Amino acid sequence: MRHRKKSRRLVGKWEHRKALLRNLLVALFIHERIQTTEAKAKELRRLADKMIVLAKRGDLAARRQALSILPDKAVVRKLFSEIKDRYAYRQSGFTRIVRIGPRRGDAAMMVIIELVTDKLEHKPAAKKEAPATTPEAKEKPAAEPVEEVKETEAAEAKAAESAPAQEEKVEETPQAVETAAEEASEAKEEAITAESSETTKEAEEETSTTSQEETKEEIKEESEKKA
């Protein structure tokens, strides 16, 4: 039974599986992009990440450990000289797997596994300034309450000065309202008187015109009688 076994079997014997992963690993570090099945790519990714971490260590023990896994010295030289500098600021995620579809025949999912070429830029963390520890800095907090008391006293004095002025304004407002009402009533009376005078003038004009017409008619009648 395969209880507590995390790795994939892939092939029948362990020696065959080990040789298969070695060959895939050499091809990946040489070409930096290969095509294989999804199961093999996932197993290869674990081994490739481990080898890049060893290369980032860069010591003699790490190089000997890499040579025990990779049989090609040229690949190990490239890994410890070129590839490790590419991932100086990257802690993980050195490879990428992209699906390209099922294989014709057995419908096995085919993928492309490649080394990540995106470079991460190192951003230094902002340093926080340490609080001052001089004797003057320690004495400053004691002076702050005195300044606060002075500010509160000044604010209370300003409030006391502004209070009588506000009361005077409140007292003056009813008188202003009464005067405004009187002015409005006077304006209404003047408008009414002006309208009445206009109406009387119109009535007088009408009466004068009617009287003139009547006199003209009487004169005509008298002239006709005499004739």
8 within 8 A of 39, measured Cβ to Cβ: yes
Structure tokens that stand for 162 in this block: 């502004």
Helix 60-69 to helix 38-57 angle (10° resolution) is: 160
Options 3.40.190.10, 3.40.50.300, 3.40.50.9100, 3.90.1030.10; which CATH number does 14-115 get? 3.90.1030.10
**Position 64 confidence tier, pLDDT thresholds 50, 70, 90:** very high
Higher pLDDT, 207 or 29: 29
Joined tokens for residue 129: 């300034």
Percentages (nearest 5) of helix, strand, coil residues in the chain: 70, 10, 25
pLDDT at 26: 92
**Both tokens assigned to 110:** 């085919």
Look-up: residue for tokens 């990257």?
Answer: 90
Please give the average per-residue pLDDT across 45-62, as a whole number.
91
**Residue 28: predicted pLDDT:** 92
Taking CA atoms, 62 is separated from 53, 116, 148, in Å, by 9, 22, 65
pLDDT tier for residue 147 given thresholds of 50, 70 and 90: low
143 — pLDDT class (breaks 50, 70, 90): very low
Closest by CA position to 47, among listed 66, 75, 34, 63: 66
Give the residue-averaged pLDDT of 161-181: 59
What are the pLDDT digits (tens) for 100-141?
Answer: 999 998 999 999 999 998 766 656 666 666 555 655 555 555
Q: Return the residue matching tokens 């008187």.
A: 193
**Portion of the chain with pLDDT greater than 90, in percent:** 28
Which 8-state DSSP code applies to residue 33? E
pLDDT at 41 over 50: yes
At residue 170, the pLDDT reads 44
Which of residues 59 and 175 earns the better pLDDT score?
A: 59
Map residue 75 onto helix, strand or coil: helix
Q: Nearest to residue 41, comparing CAs of 26, 21, 55?
A: 21
Sort 76 into a burial class: Cβ within 10 Å, 0-12 / 13-18 / 19+.
buried
pLDDT at residue 96 in the model: 92
Strand order in the sheet with 95-102: 33-37, 109-115, 95-102
- Supply the pLDDT for residue 133: 62
- Higher pLDDT, residue 7 or 200: 200
pLDDT of 29 higher than 80: yes
